[in-house]
Structure 1
């Protein structure tokens, strides 16, 4: 089932299903860098084969920000990226949304070209990315991977509670490598408690823009 969109100010995609924007109204790329990159201590941890997993692919902006950081850091080898998405955006909508960020245009072009041709396993010399289509409650438990870092980027817990349910976040913990991490823009108490129950040491940090707090954490080796 494809994403259903409204467009705010002609540029910001808003999910009609969840009544929530796909990126920050005050700077989506800056928010991605603050929450997901800084929150997971990236690019400092990058190494060949480093694996990022994500709940909610959306416009693909998080993938692009990670790949830009990977290249800027001069990381060797390949970045691996797996994203779980129930309602994929159509390629023309994705391109329209990403046009708000001229910085990503060159990096996005070959990825968008493969995506527009139907590829959900995208390969570049320095990237192997998979977009797993379907409800993450069904697809994540059967995934055979383990993430070094998680981007938890579903729509707001108040509007999309299934993406933040205890059993799904337990699966996030179960699919995290030793000393793996997560970051998310939300600081909702029930989300923090669920991630603690999933084996993470959880910390609240300053959020982006008007959001006072966000949440990060790591999974110590002894909980594996």
Structure 2
């Protein structure tokens, strides 16, 4: 994870904002509720969990989406193992991650484990494995040997970080998705939807979270 570092400023509310992309890392209203609505429900999780289920995320950020998924996996009592791969080009420091996630005391125990991993340790969980792939996802995703059953597309706003939403990258997402796999994102931007459709996904618009009227759900046809 020794790549370009995140450049962060902190709102009075304590929400971290990327100075590079002028965009908050999570909802100014309730980031955990947004994660559950967009990425978990948007991929029909936890109902689809099975042994060997694989989730991949573009834009690992604070790790909030991973932590929310971990909690739901444990609650579901699903048998077997969950694999989670996060792609992140501008990693936070462990201290920044700790500060960002301090908003969610209900996640305190898994936060501690994640931050220890982020600081160079190992992530130890009896049924969940975590892999972080650094660098530019436009290059690193093509080289990834895995395939996901569900994608969390959580880069910064397409208007401010268009590189992470280009049709070529959406094609790589599709190429690294198992048959019947899904993707979900908070954005309903037209060029993102068209890129997913061109890549072979069946795309639908769904109610967004909070002030966002719409979000996008997709299933690989």
2:33 corresponds to which of 22, 26, 30: 30
Structure 2 unpaired stretches of 5+: none
Structure 1 consecutive aligned stretches of length 4 or more whose deviation exceeds 6 Å: none
Kept in 2: contact 1:122–1:130 (CA 8 A)? no
Q: Which residue of 2 aligns with 1:40?
A: 43
TM-score (norm. length: structure 1): 0.95
Q: Which residue of 2 aligns with 1:131?
A: 132
Q: Which residue of 2 aligns with 1:185?
A: 186
State how far apart, in whole Å, the 2-side matches of 1:3 and 1:59 are.
10
Segment of structure 1 superposing worse, 1-10 or 26-35: 1-10
Please give the residue correspondences for 1:1-224 in structure 2 after superposition, counting only pairs within 5 Å: 1-9=4-12, 11-116=14-119, 118-119=120-121, 122-220=123-221
Matched residues, number: 218
Structure 1 unpaired stretches of 5+: none
For residue 182 of structure 2, give the secondary structure of its aligned residue in structure 1.
Answer: strand
Segment of structure 1 superposing worse, 4-13 or 190-199: 4-13
Report the alpha carbon displacement of residue 123 of structure 1 after superposing the two structures with TM. Answer: 3.7
Kept in 1: contact 2:187–2:214 (CA 8 A)? yes
State how far apart, in whole Å, the 1-side matches of 2:171 and 2:162 are.
15
Aligned CA RMSD, in angstroms, stands at 1.0
TM-score (norm. length: structure 2): 0.96
